[in-house]
Amino acid sequence: MKTLTTTQDLAAFCEAAAKHPYVTVDTEFLRERTYYSKLCLIQLAYAGDGENDAVLVDPLVEGLDLTPLYDLFEDAGVVKVFHAARQDLEIFFVDRGVIPAPLFDTQVAAMVCGFGEQAGYETLVRKIAKASIDKSSRFTDWSRRPLTDAQKSYALADVTHLRDIYEFLSAELDKSGRKKWVAEEMAVLNDPATYRVDPEEAWRRVKTRTNSGKFLAIVRELARFRESHAQSRNIPRNRVFKDDALVELASTKPQSEKDLGRSRLLLREARKGDIAAGILEAVKAGLAVKPEDAPKIVNSREKLQVNPALADMLRVLVKSKADNEGVAQKLIATSADLDAIAAGQRDVAALRGWRKEVFGAEALRLVDGQIGLAVKGEKVVTFEL
């Protein structure tokens, strides 16, 4: 198991990898104590069975420059293969502003190929590579050095088996003509906005039980302060204050540090100093927001005028299509998509691209009363009305 610790060795591997049609990539990282993930290990492999075609890269070694890797990531002639790529890609984007392309996510491809909802890597290794993974090193501190042989073997398996998985899924997609489906799904992962957290929009992730404009204005200001504070100090947002404390603060509207001291949910460290000052300023700013400038929850599910019978019929239709096509049901349409369609909305993901071909077009015909559903044997079929 070769571990690369110099820029020269990394450059040599990336130069060799660039001669191959694809490279498999994975990372090990820590995020428990930081806002941004701390990259601890990079695993790389290209097609082959030699001892140099799969390596570990130690980014914690002083002086190691990852530029050769980023150059490989931007090489349009080499497909970059990940499994459940979202967090890995965020690390590279935050570090260098680079999103590997062209990109192939085996988790998405597996859903298209009928391996169920969000197929796990171990499942694909077992079913496709006919191998198993030693799980003993899964929950380990990847920042500690030296790494054990068991850790190295576990990490390397994440990219060596991935070669077999990629080649199998790629061949299946070629046979079915569905490679463009996976390419469409890569659009979100290829979008830089996916990896940017705008403090101004952080409030949308906070679950609340009220849509009051004044309340939401305070929630927005508190969430904005928390996100900015966490980003600037690279600490987890929950270390500033948790969501339940944020909601409590928006309800109680503290005006002083003495008021903060009465909070049941606020961490002790947040009741004084910079965090306390930020909270009080955020509450003040939220209270000053004019009603017309207060945030609003647009298209909340509570406000959708959903026809429940129609929504149920759409669920039957999408399940039928998923079974017939051998595609994960949630990949075609989420429950929220179906409710939105049943409520008359048309700007829905399930009505665009390959989803429209598989499901959306007939869903609209069902909604418009042009077709009905019937049971034929063990299958649900449509018929003209």
My answer on whether 283 and 233 are in the same domain is yes
Tokens in use for 211? Answer: 């849509």
Stretch 365-371: mean pLDDT, rounded?
A: 96
User: What is the pLDDT confidence band of residue 296, given thresholds at 50, 70 and 90?
Assistant: confident
Distance CA 78, CA 67 (A): 16
- Structural domain that includes position 217: 199-293
Give the total number of structural domains in the chain: 3
My answer on whether 255 and 362 are in the same domain is no
My answer on whether 164 and 18 are in the same domain is yes
pLDDT given at position 1:
74
pLDDT value at 64 more than 90: yes
My answer on whether 170 and 215 are in the same domain is no
Distance CA 45, CA 56 (A): 9
pLDDT value at 154 more than 70: yes
Query: Which of 243, 263, 293 is the last residue in one of the domains?
Result: 293
My answer on whether 312 and 287 are in the same domain is no
Query: Which of 174, 195, 216 is the last residue in one of the domains?
Result: 195
My answer on whether 310 and 263 are in the same domain is no
Percent share of the chain, pLDDT over 90: 90
My answer on whether 25 and 157 are in the same domain is yes
User: What is the radius of gyration, based on Cα positions, of the chain?
Assistant: 25
Best CA proximity match to 141, nearest among 42, 43, 40: 40
Chain segment 69-86, per-residue pLDDT in tens: 999 999 999 999 999 999
This prediction's pTM: 0.90
My answer on whether 19 and 159 are in the same domain is yes
My answer on whether 111 and 76 are in the same domain is yes
CATH code, domain carrying 257:
1.10.150.80
Distance CA 87, CA 54 (A): 21
Query: Which of 267, 293, 319 is the last residue in one of the domains?
Result: 293
My answer on whether 37 and 158 are in the same domain is yes
